[in-house]
Amino acid sequence: MSFDLVLFGGTGDLAWRKLMPALFQAFRHGTLPADGRIIGVARDDLSNEQYRALIQQRFAQVDLAKRPSDEEFGRFAELLQFQRLDLSKPQDYGRLKDRLQQRNADTVVMYVATAPTLFTTVCEQLAVAGLNTPATRIVLEKPLGHDVASNRQINETVLRGFSEQQVFRIDHYLGKPSVQNLFALRFGNSLFEPLWRREHISNIQVTIAEDLGVEKRGAFYESTGALRDMVQNHALQLVCALAMEPPISADADALRDEKLKVLRSLRPWTTEAIGQFAVRGQYGPGTVGGEPVPGYRSEPGVGAESTTETFVALRAVIANWRWAGVPFYIRTGKRLAARDAHIVVNFRPAPHAIFRTPLGEANRLVITLQPRDGLQLHLLAQGQENRRQGQSLTPVHLDLDFDKRFGSERVGAYERLLLDVIDGRLNLFVRSDEQEAAWRWVEPLLDAWQGNDNGLRPYTAGSWGPSAASAMIARDGFCWSEEC
């Protein structure tokens, strides 16, 4: 199968930080179809050779294990080409068309890794130039819009030129091996599914903590914030994977129909619920990894009076039969104590106590996404020392490390998703109706927080966020797993 992958934003941050390294890994693993071209597109005036040199230079910053040798890069570089293109000039798309028609590849992927404000321009111009043939697939990075209306407007524009089956909306969390494993755990085994419901589960916690700050993206982040950047997409997709009904098959629409049902079951926010179960915070100066770091308001591109949230903790309520009364807590933030993403499924305690059982760590399934990919089952066991002390039990855990089990050279999220686009598999991409339902759920919070600092809690960089997040969960009688 032959493919052309056109990378709009070909000299941009995402291209060299994530996409080129992922394409190189696929090339190294022998999974990238051999008959392909990767055509970087940008306004710069570069020859193919200059573009290759630029990418090679940037690869020097990639982790050593993922960095190509000169010989490997030489072979990979044969796939790379560059096309100068001004996104607003129709004639430039005409030139791109000529280039693509040189060989009429079986699949043409248009990867739009530009500023979000340019998505509709690119899609419209592609359609005008007749570059929306049945062989074309279009990939859109997040964020797709900043609220329900803008999201709908982008999707409507895209869908005027392309069918839904041609649109691949990326949420890179769906490409993470641990998220694949969550589907496997739930729907490839029969062990947990009978317990996966309100009768046996008391609450579920999704934590995506980052130790990084906003890096060089201060200006972008100012108008985005944690709710749009992480909750509307990544965190809600994790909630969907946790809460969805078993799909009738692994087909894309079977999966996406079930995820959509979860999003539509999310109880809408009321003013009272926002006051009690939605916490927002912003980091101040602190210490991360032993180094002093500035507060958010001192980051480049950020206003001195900024009210943008860098931390969010929420309670999501899924109003359906399976999950009635089971809170899903979501917590995400920048400049927290560690890079740590995990899901905790807390099972209900045994209904009748015959042991002097310690509460806390037991009856819990933990799915770790970052920094390592694994699964731990926390149980209670009878240890030697307990016999002397009487009938109390000790918390123990079974620990499955997927990196050790399958090797750390596993397929990364972008690598997996790029190969899926080339192969035309839509399973791990977000449908427009899912995206709109997710925006619909977060929008009342966006409105309530817009342009004011009511309830915006400062937290010290390097901490676990504002204490209000603990108070929020304590209101239901629970605690974040590391605090119990």
Q: Could you tell me where the beta strands, DSSP code E, fall in 130-245? A: 136-140, 167-169, 201-209
Of 229 and 373, which has the nearer Cβ to ligand BG6?
A: 229
Nearest alpha-carbon partner for 171 in 438, 429, 441? 429
Question: Residue 387 burial (CB < 10 Å; 0-12/13-18/19+)?
Answer: exposed
Q: Among residue numbers 330 through 349, which ones bind ligand BG6 (CB under 6 A)?
A: 341
50: left (phi over 0), alpha (psi -120 to 50) or beta: alpha
Can you tell me which residue has the tokens 């607003």? 88
> Are 376 and 398 contacting, i.e. CB atoms less than 8 angstroms apart?
yes
Six-digit token string for 363: 């009856």
Residue 114 or residue 363: which is nearer to ligand BG6 going by CB? Answer: 114
- According to the binding rule CB under 6 A, does residue 443 interact with ligand BG6? no
* Closer CB to ligand BG6, 182 or 380, in the complex: 182
Residue 2, φ and ψ in degrees, nearest 5 = -100, 150
Q: Tell which residue, 236, 366, 210, has the closest CA to residue 296.
A: 210
Nearer to ligand BG6, 247 or 295 (CB): 295
Distance of closest approach, residue 65 Cβ to ligand BG6, in angstroms: 17
Closer Cβ to ligand BG6, 210 or 415, answer by number: 210
Among the listed residues 184, 236, 256, 3, the one whose alpha carbon sits nearest the alpha carbon of residue 105 = 3
Candidate list 29, 146, 200, 234, residue with the active-site label: 234
| Least distance to ligand BG6, CB of residue 176, Å | 7
The reply to whether 253 sits in an annotated binding site is no
3-state secondary structure of 418: helix
**Active-site residue, 234 included:** yes
280 annotated ligand binder: no
CA dist 174 and 229 (Å) reads 15
Contact call for residues 362 and 240 (beta carbons, < 8 A): no
Q: Which is nearer to ligand BG6, 323 or 429 (CB)?
A: 429
Least separation in angstroms between CB 283 and ligand BG6? 13
Q: Rounded to the nearest whole angstrom, what is the least distance from the CB of residue 368 to ligand BG6 in the complex?
A: 12
- Rank residues 208 and 244 by Cβ distance to ligand BG6 and give the closer one: 208
How far apart are CB 311 and ligand BG6 at their closest, in Å? 12
Do 111 and 76 contact (CB within 8 A), yes or no? no
> Which single residue brings its beta carbon nearest to ligand BG6?
229
Minimum distance of ligand BG6 from residue 370's CB (angstroms) = 6
Residue 346 gets which letter from DSSP?
A: E
Q: Would you count residue 229 as binding ligand BG6 (CB under 6 A)?
A: yes
Site for ligand BG6 in 349-378 (CB under 6 A): 370
> What is the distance between the terminal CA atoms of the chain, rounded to a whole angstrom?
53
CB of 116 to ligand BG6, least distance (A): 11
Q: Please choose, from the candidates 118, 47, 131, 48, the residue with its C-alpha nearest in 3D space to the C-alpha of residue 87.
A: 118
Q: Which two tokens stand for residue 86?
A: 């001004």
CB 137, min distance to ligand BG6, A: 21
Q: How far apart are CA 44 and CA 30, in angstroms?
A: 31
**67 exposed, middle or buried (CB, 10 Å; 0-12, 13-18, 19+)?**
middle
- Under the criterion CB under 6 A, does residue 436 sit at the interface with ligand BG6? no
Give strand ranges (E) for 285-434: 286-288, 291-293, 311-316, 328-333, 340-347, 364-370, 374-381, 394-401
User: Is there binding between residue 299 and ligand BG6 (CB under 6 A)?
Assistant: no
DSSP percent split of the chain into helix, strand, coil, nearest 5: 40, 20, 35
Count of residues of this chain found to bind ligand BG6 when the rule CB under 6 A is applied: 4
Least CB distance to ligand BG6 at residue 210 (A): 5
Task: Tell me if 209 sits within 8 A of 331, measured CB to CB.
Answer: yes
Q: 142: annotated binding-site residue?
A: yes
Q: Does 216 show up as a binding residue in the annotation?
A: no
* Residue 435 near residue 150, CB atoms below 8 Å: no
Which of 4, 92, 210, 415 contacts ligand BG6 by CB under 6 A? 210
Residue number with CB closer to ligand BG6 (9 or 161): 9
Measured from the CB atom, the residue of 210 and 436 that comes closer to ligand BG6 is 210
Amino acid identity of 32? L
**Residue ranges at the known binding site:** 43, 86-87, 142, 172, 176, 210, 229, 334
Query: Residue numbers of the site for ligand BG6 (CB under 6 A)?
Result: 210, 229, 341, 370
**Residue ranges at the known binding site for substrate:** 172, 176, 210, 229, 334
**Residue ranges at the known binding site for NADP(+):** 43, 86-87, 142
What residues are labeled active site? 234
